[in-house]
Chain A
Amino acid sequence: MKSRPPKWADNFLSWYCREDLLDEIQGDLYELYERESRGSKRAANWQFVWNVIRFFRIKNIKKKKPAPDTNLVTAAMLMNNLLVFIRNFRRNPGHSILSLFGLSIAFACTFLIALWVINEFSFDRFHQDSDRLYKVISHVDANSSIQTEFVAGFNINTESIPEVEEATHISTGSRWPHELCFWPENETGDCVYFNGVYASPSLFSTFSFPIISGDPDPLKDVAQIAISESMAKTLYGEESPLGKIIKIDGTKEVAVAAIFQDIPSQSSITFDFALPFSILKRQWGIDDNALQSQFFNVYLKTSTQMPAGQLSEKLNQPTVIGEEYLANKITYEAVPLTDWHLNNSYENGKSAGGRIEYVRLFILIAMFVLAMAVINFVNLSTAKATLRAKEIGVRKAIGAVKSSLVVQFMSESFMMVIAAFLLGLGWTILILPTFNTIIDDHVTLSLIGGMNIVYLLIFLVTVAVLAGIYPSAVLSSFQSSEIMKGLKNTGGSLNIRKVLMAVQLCLSLGIILFSTVIYFQLDFIKAKNLGFDKENMIRVEPTYNLLKTYDAFKTEALKSGVITNMTVTNANPMVIGSNTIAVDWQGKSPDSQISFQTIGTIHNFPEMFGLEIQEGRDFLPVQQTKDSLASEALISKTAVAFFGFENPIGQKIRIHDYLDCEIVGVVNDFHTSSLKESMQPVIIYRNVITQLSGIYVKYKPGEAEAALKAIAKSYETFEPNTTIKYWFQDETFDSLYKTETIASKLVLAFSGISILIAIIGIVGLATFNTMRKTKEIGVRRVFGASHSESLLVLLKEFVWVSLLAIVVAVPLAWFASQKWLNTYAYRTAMPWMAFLLISALAVVLIVGIIWIQGQKTIATNPTKSLRSE
């Protein structure tokens, strides 16, 4: 075989060389190459390349073509382009509206997701010194695993770190003493619950929570309270609340010293009122020493921005953390506050993401949906191009150069993208309220501002160029002579269209399959037997008074008939939340740091929550008195294994270093946190009623309204000074999986949209395909092909494409969803039946669309289709 010189060098030569010199230069080089290559081919190649480089001289280089008589892009031409665009739109409204619709929906999707993502990333960034704020969390090395608590000791001594400017302790919570009821001044009605914090004086200087009026430093360790603007409005209306006296819990008087602006929704620290720690001490009845040993949320502000790792190291110096905590294997870690919202999940002491994973998931989905819409747009416009070939031919014949055609198609693409953008913006505004309900947040268009507008423009231009570059390249390269002769050369672009369609189907299938898995998992969670009863139950927040008169309260409530039972605990068995390692028993190894979940309760807890006593006996139905703190305890099956007892009945354990219990029975395992966690060991011990914090009321199924009324009435009888605060247990359960529920709803919505876009794409291509094959089918029909045979002709092209898409999408979706499922300790089996079904449905859908599209063409009399033209 004759050898050829390196192609790239040759191309380079033809690219730069003056046309009138090219022939002789290239000829000479070929001749030399030919001669050389009889010897070594390598040497010949080198020689050729060298010669090409040597010829690269100013004299030989192409001069820029003289500018044409008219400017390439004139206003008149752009006007003409616009006109042609509108005419095309009108002539082929179906097609154009399809691609416009698809693109605008994808834009709306992208905007919504972008707004949400911007919102997520803007958390805690409104603070003036947000880059110098850190949250301190602590890791406790509990032998087998490291537990991470999002709090740090009150006694953390940050004064010895010169970089730390301010340290702020904030005590937060969702119940007493953080959730307090306040009486509006001018009304005699109910009191209103507000959630507040107890904080160090530096709260308002560390964070940018602007104080509107009053003392700029309201938490100077005296009886003062700072309240939010909306709280002030609720309590005092238009009156100025400054100086008013509020009685906390009816006893501790504090004066309203300041009003601060409502905390923005993008803050991970939220509160309606702020009180100094001195009040907390009085609330809890503890002294300074006891306060020092407590753990709270701790935030640091440094004088300059510094790496969090460096700060963490300083925090773990013995002088800062304290020898005692070090001995207990506690370490502190500083986390930049701005990262906290998205990365607050810890596994074994290591950051394990958190919300950021959902943010990433949705960014990916947005990109997928957008890619699908752009692919649609490209497919439809190149498909349409064959129908516009004549226009291009005429344009070329009367002297349009390639670049002006590129400009034309690019400008069409830009016009479409801008139209789709405006339409998409419209959708976004329409959908935004619904979207906000779904995600339970308030995202607004106002988030787009500043640099984001620039990004938006870049994004639009990118999409327009991406969508326009391929069609314009294909369309403008049509040879006019070929078009005029009727030879349409679209083979190459057809293949690319198929590839693009396969990609699109693949993405769409992937999203649908993934959302199916999420749906199945949520279903699994809802149906999962938690090991205890959670239905038909209301949790009521008791007051101290109510607990003291609990027996009378219970008798009164039971009288109503709809309430069947009642118990009191100090933790919700559904979400116990805190763990304790302060459990001692005989035979405990000294460095064992097993953490247990504990529930303090009264005798009827197992009966009320439907726990099964598997060994030993239930609690005895006698009252627990304060004097006999030696108490009974039930432990879960898992706990038995953790304790290592051969025979747990009768064993003595000591909880929190003061509470001696005897194990009287073993109950079945039950889930005390999200199903992401594995089963935890639980100790249920009896306690004095007045030390407990939640009344659980069971009512007859379907009588929620009546039960609520009855319990509120009894509550009012025994505690006329406060308003009842209650939660339904199943709502609490749902809130455990709030993120998952939101995510599944959104993914479901987006998979619906991806189906829509995919259908638009298939319809568009099928229409085009049918049009192209009208004649072929006509000829086939003439020669006696049956209906179904003709249909097969139309289907053939799509079958392989969809099969390929399924073959690629199913394993990918399988892998991705398996990864997601692995974040749960308890998970559903892979719904492979659903995978199969969905794939089959996809095929049926595609075939169906093509069948409907093709029906008309096949049914037409072939004489008609063959005569057209």
Chain B
Amino acid sequence: MKGSYLGELEELILLTVGVLFPDAYGVAVMDELKAQAGRSLNISAVHAVLTRLEEKGYVKSEMGQPTEERGGRRKRIFTLTAAGKNVLEESQALRNQLYAMIPKPAFEFKLT
């Protein structure tokens, strides 16, 4: 087991896969990341992360239909797995929990 640690980029992509349901594949994920987070990644990097996520069991994939613009090549459509949903929720919860623990005065920015 590769451990449940989720890198920042992995988390972002995992989220994007969720957002794009049911049409999350390499190029779409890359575009969405650019649009939402302003991160421009090389397509090969996206593929690498997606493969890693699949190995960790957070996403699963199946081959989609070929389209003309892809020169007749099929897409690999990624969808979240239950484990993927869990890991997202966990990280979400962890953030919320930690965020809630920040004492109020820490947010009071006064001009000094």
Contacts and interface: CB of A to CB of B under 8 A. Distances in A.
B43 A27 contact: no
A372 B111 CA distance: 96
Which among B42, B44, B66, B74 has the greatest number of chain A C-beta atoms within 10 A? B44
A57 interface: yes
A59 B43 contact: no
Nearest to B68: A34
Interface string B42-73: 11110110010000000000010010011101
Q: How large is the interface on B (under 10, 10 to 19, 20 to 34, 35 or more residues)?
A: 10 to 19
Given A23-B63, A24-B26, A28-B25, A59 B69 contact: no
Interface string A23-41: 1111111111010000000
Interface in B3-49: 25-27, 42-45, 47-48
A28 B67 CA distance: 11
A28 B74 contact: no
A27 B43 CA distance: 11
A30 B69 contact: yes
Interface residues of A, number: 16
A28 B43 contact: yes
B73 A23 contact: yes
A54 B47 CA distance: 11
22 contacts: A23-B74, A24-B25, A24-B47, A24-B63, A24-B76, A25-B26, A25-B47, A26-B71, A26-B73, A27-B66, A27-B74, A28-B26, A28-B47, A28-B70, A30-B71, A31-B69, A32-B27, A54-B45, A55-B43, A57-B44, A57-B48, A59-B51
Contact of B71 (A24, A27, A54, A59): A27
A213 interface: no
Contacts of A32: 27, 43
B21 to A, nearest CB: 18
B75 A51 contact: no
A209 B108 CA distance: 111
A722 B41 CA distance: 106
Contacts of A57: 44, 48
B71 to A, nearest CB: 4
B46 to A, nearest CB: 9
Contacts of A30: 69-71, 73
B77 to A, nearest CB: 10
B73 A24 contact: yes
Given A27-B75, A29-B43, A59 B25 contact: no
A31 B70 contact: yes
A1 to B, nearest CB: 15
Contacts of B45: 54
A256 B46 CA distance: 98
Interface string A125-156: 00000000000000000000000000000000
Contact of A24 (B42, B48, B74): B74
Contacts of A51: 42-44
Nearest to B61: A24
A24 B70 CA distance: 9
A55 B47 contact: yes
B16 to A, nearest CB: 15
Contacts, number: 55
Interface in A7-33: 23-32
B63 A34 contact: no
Most buried by B among A31, A55, A57: A31
Contacts of B47: 24-25, 28, 55
A34 B74 CA distance: 15
A253 B88 CA distance: 120
Contacts of B27: 28, 31-32
Nearest to A30: B71
Contacts of A55: 43-44, 47
A273 to B, nearest CB: 86
A667 B74 CA distance: 99
A348 to B, nearest CB: 69
| Nearest 10 A/B pairs, CB to CB | A27-B73, A27-B70, A54-B44, A30-B71, A24-B76, A28-B26, A55-B44, A31-B70, A23-B73, A28-B27
A31 to B, nearest CB: 5
Nearest to B69: A34
Interface string A46-61: 0000010011010100
A23, A28, A29, A31 pick with most chain B CB within 10 angstroms = A28
B35 to A, nearest CB: 14
Contacts of B70: 27-28, 30-31, 34
Given A28-B25, A30-B71, 15 more contacts: A23-B73, A24-B25, A24-B76, A25-B26, A25-B47, A26-B71, A27-B71, A27-B74, A31-B70, A34-B69, A34-B70, A54-B44, A55-B44, A59-B48, A59-B51
Contacts of B74: 23-24, 27
A23 B45 CA distance: 17
Nearest to B76: A24
A440 to B, nearest CB: 72
A59 B63 CA distance: 19
A27 B77 CA distance: 12
A29 B70 CA distance: 8
A51 B63 CA distance: 22
Contacts of B75: 24, 27-28
A741 B27 CA distance: 79
Contacts of A27: 66, 70-71, 73-75
A27 B63 CA distance: 12
A57 B27 CA distance: 18
A34 B73 CA distance: 13
Contacts of A34: 69-70
A34 B76 CA distance: 18
Contacts of A26: 71, 73
A32 B69 CA distance: 9
Nearest to B42: A54
A780 to B, nearest CB: 44
Nearest to B66: A27
Contacts of B63: 23-24
Nearest to A51: B43
A44 to B, nearest CB: 13
Contacts of A23: 63, 73-74, 76
A31 B27 CA distance: 8
A4 B66 CA distance: 18
Nearest to A50: B42
Nearest to A5: B71
A59 B25 CA distance: 18
A34 B27 CA distance: 12
A21 to B, nearest CB: 8
Nearest to B47: A25
A27 B27 CA distance: 9
A25, A26, A27, A30 — most chain B CB neighbours (10 Å) = A27
A24 B76 CA distance: 6
B13 to A, nearest CB: 14
Contacts of A29: 43
A30 B43 CA distance: 12
A59 B42 CA distance: 16
A34 B45 CA distance: 20
Chain A CB within 10 Å — which of B26, B45, B70 has the most? B70
Nearest to A29: B43
B108 to A, nearest CB: 47
Contacts of B69: 30-31, 34
A25 B27 CA distance: 10
A57 B52 CA distance: 14
Contacts of B51: 59
A105 to B, nearest CB: 54
A316 B40 CA distance: 78
A160 to B, nearest CB: 76
Contacts of A28: 25-27, 43, 47, 70, 75
Contacts of A25: 26, 47
A282 B105 CA distance: 131
B29 to A, nearest CB: 10
Contacts of A54: 42-45
A23 B44 CA distance: 14
